[in-house]
Structure formats: C-alpha cells, structure tokens
Structure 1
Amino acid sequence: MGNWKPREFGPTNEEIFESNLEYAEQQNDFERKKLETLNQMAEDDPDLEEDDVFEEYRKKRLEELKVQSSRPRFGSLLEIGRPDFEVQVTRAPKDVIVLIHLYQDHIPESVILNRLLTEIAPRHPYVKFIKIVANKCIENYLDIDVPGLLFYKNGDLLDKIIPAAPVFGGKHMTKDTVEFVLAMKLIIDMEFDEDPRIKLKQFNMSTKKKAGKKNEDESDSDENEDREYTNTQMFRYKH
C-alpha cells in the first residue's frame, strides 16, 4: 500500500557466479602478462590503475624482475676438463642448475646434441650448460651410455639421463625434443602443448614403412623389434 520502502534484492547466485568467473579470468589474463605488457595496458586504460587485481600482478612482476636481475647468467655451452669440475660444477653459484653433457666426438648423437645444446643455452641463461668428454670425466665410462646428461645443483647430483639419445629421439632429435625433456625434468622453464617426440616417432615409423616396401623379405622382423625399442626408449623418461 506504499507504507514500506521497496525491498532491495541482493545479487542472485548466477550474478555472483558470473562476477567470480570474470574475476578469475581477469586474474589469469594478468598472470600471463609480462611487466612491460602490464605497463602498456595501464597507459592505454588509466582506469586499470585503480584495479587492485591489476596492481597486485604488476607489483608481482616487478618483484620477479628484481629477483631475476640478481641471478647469475650464463648463456653458452662451456667446455671443461676434469680438473675444472670442482670449480665449475661443485662450486657453481647457489641454486643454479648445472647441465653436464658427457660426450664423445666419434658418436654421431653426441655431435648432434652438442650442436643443439649450443643453440639452446642462450635461450635459458639461468642454467649453466657444460660439456666434457665422457671418459675424461668418469673413468671407464661406456660409449653405449654416450651421450649422457647429468644435472647438479648446490654440489649434489639432482638428476640424470643416461643414455640420452633414445630419450631425445636418436639421430633425429631436435631442439624441441631436447627442450621438452628438459622442461619435463624441470631443468628449464618452458611449456609445451604436446610432446614433440610423438610427431618424430610417427615420422620415423612412416619412413620405416616406406623402406620396408623396398625390402619386404628382410624388414618385417627388424621393423617390429625397432618399433618396440623406440617405444620403450623414447618415452622411458617422459614423466
């Protein structure tokens, strides 16, 4: 009858859900942005300066940048000898991961991996990349375990991949397959949508099938054994 003020209704559950969803999406969007991108966004939209979420992530990026600027940087594949191991590996800067490639020049996979690591090292300057002739680092090191990778941190053996060639894709290994495995091992900070070794494996199988058509009499048993070996070895260290 007009004796009471109209009731003020609060937001519905659906409106609350939509608001929370929008907030979460905004957080995810800011989280993926680098500091320079966030600064540019603030220039384009001054209202963002009043956004607590935006400012929180911009401050977070600034702090991360300060931490990164104080970390040791490397950016190349360093050749060392056994006498250098103590200084270059055991006494490496605190919390720095040292990747050691045990190689031999007469093993093709070692030569390929050295070339790829030379390309990869500048992309990950906070990891110390080192190479050393295998039997000069570890006495009586077997050629069947070359190439091999050792990972050290704070003077301790953190992890290893021995032998490494089958894990990376053998003679067909690429920069992507090597970086993927290193990322899975948490040696480098990278994200992949899928395992690049899957496409490499499919390519290898396709190549073998084509070769098999030319040598049907002798290839069937060899192909089955080789495929089984590839499946076992390439994905041995996937997780």
Structure 2
Amino acid sequence: MDMPVNVPVDNPNADTEWNDILRKHGVIPEKPPSPTPIIEEAILEAQRRAHENRLEDKDLDELDALEDEEDEEFLEQYRKKRLVELSTLQKASVFNQVYPLQKTDYAREVTEVSSHAFVLVNLTSMGGNVESRVLSEIWRQLAPKYGEVKFCEIRADMCIEGYPERNTPTILAYKDGEIRRQFVTLRELNGVRTKIEDVEKVLVDLGAIKEGDLRLRKQDEDDRGDRETNEAEDDDDDDDWD
C-alpha cells in the first residue's frame, strides 16, 4: 500500500523548477495569479476614463478656451451637451425665490408641489435666534441659484401650534408628498457656522441636485477666489507695517 510522502517545501509560492514539478503532480496547489497585471489594467482603465471625461466639468467658456488643444468635433459634442444641460436647468428653474408660507396654504404650496419638485421648508424662530437668521440668509442665496428647488419659510409656531422655540430652525425636505429628511436645529450641519455648501451637500444627498452639478463647482471657485483675495489684502496690510 502506497503511503503519503511528506515532501519538504521551503516556499510553495516560489518560482522554482522543483515547485513546478510539485504543482504538476498536485503535491502543492497552483500558484495564485499575480495581482500586478490586474492592478496595471485597472490603472490603465482609470486613465482612459479620466481622458475620456476630461471635459466633463467644463463650462462653455472653458470649452471655448480649449479650441487649440482639443479636436473640434469632440469639443462640439461637449458644447451641445452643455447647452442641453443649461436649457434643461432654465426650464426647470421656475421658483427662484424664498416663498413665505401661511398655514392654510401649506398643503397646496408644499405637499402638492412636491409631487414634481423638491420642496424645502424652513420652520424659523419666533424670536429670530441666531441659527434661524443664518438659515434664512442661506435660503435667500440658494433659492435663485437652484430655481428647480422650492425654498419656503414659515414661523414654526404659526405652522405647528406650540412648536418649541428650542427646536428652531427646523428643515423639512419634501418630495412626492412625503418628508424625505428633517433637521431639528442646525446641529447636524454645522450649527451657527453652517454655510451654503453644508446645505448643498444635503441637496446632493437628497438627489435634488446632481453631485457633478456645475453650479457646485462654481461655488467652490468663488470661495477660493474670495479666500485668495482676502489673503492678498492681509499681505498688503502686513506690508504697511514693515
């Protein structure tokens, strides 16, 4: 009767002639495939996609500036795509302001409208606490920027009798007749330091605006420009003291 033989193997994954013989006879398992080709293929695929999508976040002015660098037919495709996107936004941009609400109009102005658009309601403070003032200002800036979203505002105690002042402001996000998200005060955002981009992130998470929306990038560029301007002014002030 044949007895199993223990064959010494220093490193079963080593590329040696002895290991090849052992693998051939099933003594040791086949060597797992090297991950290197898979990694290299993934890198090449990522580079290919990045190259294909290199114009994805460019606006019309930026596309025009690339006329000498890109194929004209390729650029024209993106121009047409941007024009379609702009046209779609313009058609959907029907609100463009903050709508003050009355309790009697709530169902018509909020619940019914949410069947075809996102509606965000700010239940604001009776006494105008700091967070309520912060959110009201953000509402004022976001409403014309994202005209396809309806931004509404109503004093909390006029909407819900006895609503606690400490819970204001409260954000109610409606779609298809239902509350999809709510924030009681701005604690979950950034408190009194809440900025436009904090609420924009909520809009993206809700699906009210797309993650790659050019208007988001424009905001980032404006913020960077403001920071650079402020830093330059600070440098000038420092020079005055030299």
Scaled to the shorter chain, the TM-score interval is: 0.5 to 0.7
2:236 aligned residue: none
- Cα distance in 2, alignment partners of residues 190 and 179 from structure 1: 10
2:118 aligned residue: 97
Instruction: Give the TM-score of the pair, scaled to structure 2.
Output: 0.58
Relative to its length, the structure with more helix (as a share) is 1
2:59 aligned residue: 34
Summarize the alignment of residues 1-239 of structure 1 with structure 2, pairs less than 5 Å apart.
Answer: 23-41=48-66, 43-44=67-68, 48-51=71-74, 54-92=75-113, 94-108=115-129, 109-161=131-183, 163-189=184-210
Instruction: Give the TM-score of the pair, scaled to structure 1.
Output: 0.59
- Cα distance in 2, alignment partners of residues 124 and 25 from structure 1: 28
- Cα distance in 2, alignment partners of residues 141 and 120 from structure 1: 26
Do the aligned residues in 2 keep the contact of 1:152 with 1:158 (CA within 8 Å)?
yes
Do the aligned residues in 1 keep the contact of 2:124 with 2:132 (CA within 8 Å)?
yes
2:28 aligned residue: none
How many residues end up aligned between the 2 structures?
A: 174
Gaps of 5+ in 1: 1-12, 194-239
Q: Which is worse superposed, 61-70 or 145-154?
A: 61-70
Deviation at 1:107, TM superposition (A): 4.6
SS of structure 1 residue aligned to 2:92: coil
Structure 1 residues 179 and 164: CA distance shift in structure 2, 3 A: farther
- Cα distance in 2, alignment partners of residues 178 and 68 from structure 1: 19
Which is greater in Rg?
Answer: 2
CA deviation digits over 1:92-125, x for unaligned, max 9? 2753111000112315121222122212322222
Deviation at 1:69, TM superposition (A): 2.8
Gaps of 5+ in 2: 1-36, 218-242
CA RMSD, 1 decimal: 3.3
- Cα distance in 2, alignment partners of residues 177 and 93 from structure 1: 22
SS of structure 2 residue aligned to 1:166: coil
The residue type equivalent to 1:175 in the other structure is I
Task: Provide the identity percentage.
Answer: 29
Structure 1 residues 65 and 112: CA distance shift in structure 2, 3 A: closer
- Cα distance in 2, alignment partners of residues 116 and 50 from structure 1: 41
Structure 1 residues 137 and 21: CA distance shift in structure 2, 3 A: closer
Q: Which is worse superposed, 30-39 or 124-133?
A: 30-39
SS of structure 1 residue aligned to 2:173: strand
The residue type equivalent to 1:77 in the other structure is V
